[in-house]
Amino acid sequence: MLAVRDVAVSGYRSLRAIRFPVGGLSVFIGANGVGKTNLYRALECLQSAAAGTLIRDLAAEGGMESVSWAGERKRHESARIRWSVELADSASGLAYDYAVEVGFKPLKGAAGFPLEPDLKTERLRLISGRRPATMLDRDGPGGFLRDAEGRKRSLGCDLLPSETVLGTLQDAGAYPELHQVRSALAAWRFHHDFRTDAASALRRPCLAVTAPTLSSDGSDLAAVFATLAHIRGDTADLAAAVDDAFPGARLDLPLPGREARFGMVFPDYPKRVFEAAELSDGTLRFLALAGALFAYRLPPFVALNEPETSLHPDLLAPLARMIVKASERTQIWLVTHSERLADAIVAQGGTRPHRVIKREGATWIEGLKLFGAFEADP
């Protein structure tokens, strides 16, 4: 499994130029407006590159005018945005560096629409072992790939400036390194908008299909719970988390027919099952987070953006315990406003939070050195 080792971003929103290491549990805390969410969005951009939707997603954010660094630039410095990530497999010792860069479209001679972001460069390097090698080197529409035998191959396809090689070339047999990195990035999960209104998918039954991992919007939560209860046959962690948050309560998880559903039984009403549609926003959101963190199979990387939203303060310690326990199975990235949640994570043996600040108008992290390590790191 490829784990995230290092992330670097430049020219994106409030991220002037920043590089930082990523551990098993990374917690970022800070005031409104310092750029915590931009760190989170930068990770989403890397996944968009793997999916081939990066340019479309940037256009949806408002295009280059909206997503580019708005501060001062050095003379002759181009207005480009660059994202990169280092991924490593501790079992095999393999490590990769993937980077993608976009900019404004040239005035003449380029395919695409005038205001469309333009994909400039894309590179994938094998950075481990005795023979580090460049597996992908793309500059504009041209470049090369290195195949499974180590031979250089021309890109050999008419790439548009809206297409990434990682998202377009799907030949896993010929280019196994590309496939491995693409699969790792595609498997990331981002949870930042669990809707709990009356029309929320969380409140409705879902198709009874085994669901090893919770979808980003939580729409298959009932199937995730049913998979734990009736396929895996182990809901111990989930039941403990529910009892921790709501003492004496338990989940009701009937065997699915065509649809999966769930409810809650509370100690004050032991003979009454409260269906998902009847639960409070905070209760439903906590259960969605439990589904994300205790699913049958966790993704290699789970990013949570302000999970404390709509939760009663008494639920923050149980949430912290879930996060720390889940970090034993996967990498967790957490952005929060809540000092109480951050403190509870530390109290449970989790990592100390990194404080996000503004420095000369740019997002920065306290204790981060210019070469990309934290002062407390050995």
| Strand stretches in 104-178, DSSP E | 118-126, 133-139, 142-146, 152-154
For residues 299 and 345, give the distance between their C-alpha atoms in angstroms, rounded to a whole number.
Answer: 21
**β-strand pairing of 25-29 with 331-336:** parallel
Contacts 24+ apart (CB under 8 A), 55-63: 55/102, 55/116, 55/117, 55/119, 55/161, 55/162, 55/163, 56/162, 58/102, 58/117, 59/116, 59/117, 63/115, 63/116, 63/117
User: What is the per-residue pLDDT for 107?
Assistant: 55
Q: Both ends of the chain: CA-CA distance in Å?
A: 25
Q: HSE (CB half, 13 Å, CA atoms) of 2?
A: 23
For residues 118 and 104, give the distance between their C-alpha atoms in angstroms, rounded to a whole number.
Answer: 6
For residues 144 and 133, give the distance between their C-alpha atoms in angstroms, rounded to a whole number.
Answer: 12
What interhelical angle do 281-293 and 236-245 show, nearest 10? Answer: 150
| Burial zone of 185 (CB within 10 Å; 0-12 exposed, 13-18 middle, 19+ buried) | buried
Bridge partner list, 134: 125
User: What is the per-residue pLDDT for 218?
Assistant: 94
Instruction: Decide if 221 contacts 202 (C-beta within 8 A).
Output: yes
Q: Which helix (H) or strand (E) holds 357?
A: strand 354-359
Two tokens, residue 5: 């080792």
Q: Chain centroid to CA 128: how far? A: 24
- Amino acid identity, residue 82? R
- Which residues, including other chains, have CB under 8 Å from residue 184's CB and lie 6 or more apart? 1, 2, 87, 300
Instruction: Dump the DSSP string for 36-63.
Output: HHHHHHHHHHHHHHHHT-HHHHHHHTT-
User: What is the per-residue pLDDT for 110?
Assistant: 58
Three-state secondary-structure class, residue 114: coil
Backbone angles phi, psi at 163, to 5 degrees: -110, 135
User: What is the per-residue pLDDT for 74?
Assistant: 76
User: What is the per-residue pLDDT for 323?
Assistant: 98
Spell out the per-residue pLDDT of the chain, length 378, in tens: 899 999 999 999 999 999 999 999 999 999 999 999 999 999 999 999 999 999 999 999 999 989 999 888 777 777 899 999 999 998 888 999 999 999 987 755 556 666 788 999 999 999 987 778 999 999 988 899 999 998 999 886 678 888 999 999 888 899 999 999 999 999 999 998 899 999 999 999 999 999 999 999 999 999 999 999 999 999 999 999 999 999 999 999 999 999 999 999 999 999 999 999 999 999 999 999 999 999 999 999 999 999 999 899 999 999 999 999 999 999 999 999 999 999 999 999 989 999 999 999 999 999 999 888 888 654
Token pair 């198709």 is found at 207
For residues 160 and 70, give the distance between their C-alpha atoms in angstroms, rounded to a whole number.
Answer: 27
Give me the helices (H) in 255-362, please. Answer: 281-293, 316-326, 339-347
**CA torsion angle for 74, 75, 79, 83 (degrees, to 10)?**
-40
For residues 349 and 346, give the distance between their C-alpha atoms in angstroms, rounded to a whole number.
Answer: 5
Token pair 């993704």 is found at 299
Q: pTM here?
A: 0.92
Instruction: Decide if 365 contacts 357 (C-beta within 8 A).
Output: yes
